[in-house]
Amino acid sequence: MTDQPEPRSGLLDIMAYRGGVADAPGFTAPIKLSSNENCFGAPQSAIDALIEETSRLERYPDGGALRLREALAAKHDLPVDQIVCGCGSDELLQLLGRSYLNAGDEVLFSAHGFLTYKLIALQNEAVPVMVPEDDLCANVSRMLEAVTERTRIVFVANPNNPTGYMMPKDDLYRLHAGLPEDVLLVVDTAYAEYVDDAAYSCGMELVRNHKNVLTTRTFSKVYGLAGLRIGWAYCPEQVAAVLNRVRSPFNANRPAQAAAIAALQDDAFVARSAAHVQKWRPWLSEEISKTGIRVYSSAGNFILMGLGNAEKADAAEQFLMKKGLILRGMRGFGLPGFLRLTIGLDEENQAFAKGLAEFMAS
Ligand SMILES: *Cc1c(COP(=O)(O)O)cnc(C)c1O
């Protein structure tokens, strides 16, 4: 007996997730390059749809998000019934953990995979198995060697956050082919639209042909709607049936559904956002590299850099913060000597490059 209600075992060992810093002391409008958001903001088309929807806020949303799923199905040529929407793709990842993990099961991912995967394992009394990488790149052979009969879920973010690493299609397919049929492979493609590499696969073709693989996507990144919380999964029928039983009935809210439908039609916005990132990614990588800082190749709208040690990374973060530039320190990601930069607007990128060069010269 204890003198207070006790949470499920292991929950208090979890470090609560902390998002990117949003404020720089002394700056009313700091340059926020810490959360991989779209520097162009939300598409006007989505804002208009959202405003229009405010005349119906007393009404519950469509719990099945049918119009949004139909729009997604049409856009990506997928069966409507195999799409499930969520309060961000994060909710869907959480629900998968809750649905498929039992205490003692193992959840496999590469050592610097997305932070959420570890939390999902711990929330469900499962064991996170973090497979060593090669210089921050996932190693599929090693991941397959780490599979045991307790493995239930394998998570791959492709491209991965925070490393930026893109797992080539051959590796992704080899990973899937090497997994037992009762292990669920979750391919998290939050940054798919930013990839410009012919070796990429977002995994949808795998989902079409197998029962143990699914992909998740989000409106938070290239669609610029992170604040609305809306994401979706394309999954086998059996997995969709499970998610539809465990999700809360109105998990995708009314304004989010309306805005997402509008954003989905806004090809020009997505194309402009992707092109902007593809233009600035090499420029920024080169500028960082020139200062002597190690840059990791990224397929997303962000760049990971290695400062060599934690003291230097912290000093750089503080130095840039004093100039109103907010980056993401990587201590919480198990990469204390690293910083992550989200690609911003032209002048923001230039301000960052200038600030970083000044730091290295100081
Ligand atoms: C940002 C991000 C997500 C998306 O989260 P949402 O809940 O949809 O906002 C998912 N996976 C990765 C790897 C991310 O970086």
b/e per residue 113-128 (b: at least 16 CB within 10 A): bbbbbbbbbbbbebbb
With pLDDT > 90 as the criterion, what percentage of the chain qualifies? 93
Spatial separation of the C-alpha atoms in residues 312 and 310, rounded to whole Å: 5
Distance from residue 85's CA to the centre of ligand 1 (Å): 14
Confidence band of 1 (pLDDT split at 50, 70, 90): low
pLDDT on residue 11:
86
How would you classify the pairing of strands 328-329 and 294-295? unpaired
Q: For residue 309, what are its two tokens?
A: 């040690």
pLDDT digits (tens, 9 = 90+) for 4-56: 988 888 888 888 887 778 888 899 999 999 999 999 999 999 999 999 999 99
What is the residue extent of each domain of the chain?
Answer: 11-42+268-361, 44-264
Of 1.50.10.150, 3.40.50.1220, 3.90.1150.10, 2.60.40.420, the CATH number of 11-42+268-361 is 3.90.1150.10
Average pLDDT of the chain is 96
Q: Which residues line ligand 1 (CB under 6 A)?
A: 36, 88-90, 114, 157, 161, 188, 190, 218, 220-221, 226, 231
Helix axes 346-361, 267-290, angle to 10 degrees: 10
Does this model's pTM top 0.85? My answer is yes
Q: Amino acid identity, residue 174?
A: R
pLDDT digits (tens, 9 = 90+) for 158-204: 999 999 999 999 999 999 999 999 999 999 999 999 999 999 999 99
Which CATH code fits 44-264?
3.40.640.10
Is residue 295's pLDDT more than 90? Answer: yes
How would you classify the pairing of strands 213-218 and 184-188? parallel
Find all residues with CB under 8 Å of 140, minimum gap 6, and list them: 167, 171, 174, 175, 178
7: helix, strand or coil? coil
Say what the alpha-carbon torsion angle 206, 132, 12, 103 is, to the nearest 10 degrees.
50
Bridge partners of residue 312, in order along the sequence: none
Spatial separation of the C-alpha atoms in residues 159 and 293, rounded to whole Å: 22
Q: Amino acid identity, residue 256?
A: A
pLDDT digits (tens, 9 = 90+) for 246-282: 999 999 999 999 999 999 999 999 999 999 999 999 9
Shortest-distance atom of ligand 1 to CA 226: 9
Helix axes 116-123, 88-100, angle to 10 degrees: 40
Find all residues with CB under 8 Å of 118, minimum gap 6, and list them: 107, 109, 128, 130
Distance from residue 135's CA to the centre of ligand 1 (Å): 23
Shortest-distance atom of ligand 1 to CA 157: 13
